Chains A and B, each alone.
Chain A
Amino acid sequence: DAEITQSPRHKITETGRQVTLACHQTWNHNNMFWYRQDLGHGLRLIHYSYGVQDTNKGEVSDGYSVSRSNTEDLPLTLESAASSQTSVYFCASSESMGREDTGELFFGEGSRLTVL
């Protein structure tokens, strides 16, 4: 069965360290997304990609970067982790996001990051 997996599921790091969260999907979806989820907020879009070599900034992209070298993977890098980046991070993928689309995103199980 196709799936989307994130790793690590839990990570504790220190302020200033570089951290990379991996996301791998076998749906063969063109669209991939990274969100963060914090209490009291809806999911907030960090970065997204509509295909290989395509990356775009979302609503809360400062301090994060992504790269898309193949269809399956969209790693998220925190260049210099800050305590404000303590959050749950979700990766998602979808086929398309047009008028005819169901709007369905398929999410990974999440990565819980704590920055001390």
Chain B
Amino acid sequence: RKEVEQDPGPFNVPEGATVAFNCTYSNSASQSFFWYRQDCRKEPKLLMSVYSSGNEDGRFTAQLNRASQYISLLIRDSKLSDSATYLCVVLDSNYQLIWGAGTKLIIKP
């Protein structure tokens, strides 16, 4: 079992819709959680950290469920520019970042 698992997608979503995807992690001692965004053939960039209480940044909402060991990312009012691969990242108890393989999102006009 992979330490961090994501549905690879692609998720094909019409512009303006709401889309959500999850990421599960296997190590219950994981400390911190992040979502990165990676555009095609580009480097990953931090989208947002995921806090225990959940957090929101504009149209993006991230949530953490420690009991079920998953994090989620919700995108409201999706834009064409949201098309990208979203990488789930977990900081384990050894302070190593463990990366999911990513979920590809395609926003269609």
Binding site for B on A (CB under 8 A): 35, 40-45, 90, 97-99, 101-105, 107-110
B13 at the interface (CB under 8 A from A): no
CB distance from B104 to the nearest CB of A (A): 11
Asked whether, in the complex, the Cβ of B97 is within 8 Å of the Cβ of A105, the reply is: yes
Q: Given A103-B34, A107-B43, A107-B45, does the pair A42, B100 have CB atoms closer than 8 Å?
A: yes
3 A-B pairs with the lowest CB-CB distances in the bound complex, closest first: A42-B99, A107-B43, A43-B99
- Show 17 A/B contacts (Cβ-Cβ < 8 Å), sorted by A: A40-B101, A42-B87, A42-B101, A43-B99, A97-B97, A98-B95, A102-B49, A103-B32, A103-B34, A103-B49, A103-B91, A105-B44, A105-B46, A107-B45, A108-B43, A109-B42, A110-B43
Q: Which residue of B lies closest to A94 (CB)?
A: B97
| Majority SS at the chain B contact face | strand
Residues of chain A within 8 A of B99, CB atoms compared: 35, 42-44
For the complex, give the distance between the alpha carbons of A44 and B42 in Å.
16
Asked whether, in the complex, the Cβ of A104 is within 8 Å of the Cβ of B98, the reply is: no
CB distance from A59 to the nearest CB of B (A): 8
- Report which of A44, A98, A103 forms a contact with B89, defined as CB distance below 8 A: A103
For the complex, give the distance between the alpha carbons of A72 and B30 in Å.
30
Q: Given A40-B101, A42-B101, A45-B96, does the pair A103, B46 have CB atoms closer than 8 Å?
A: yes
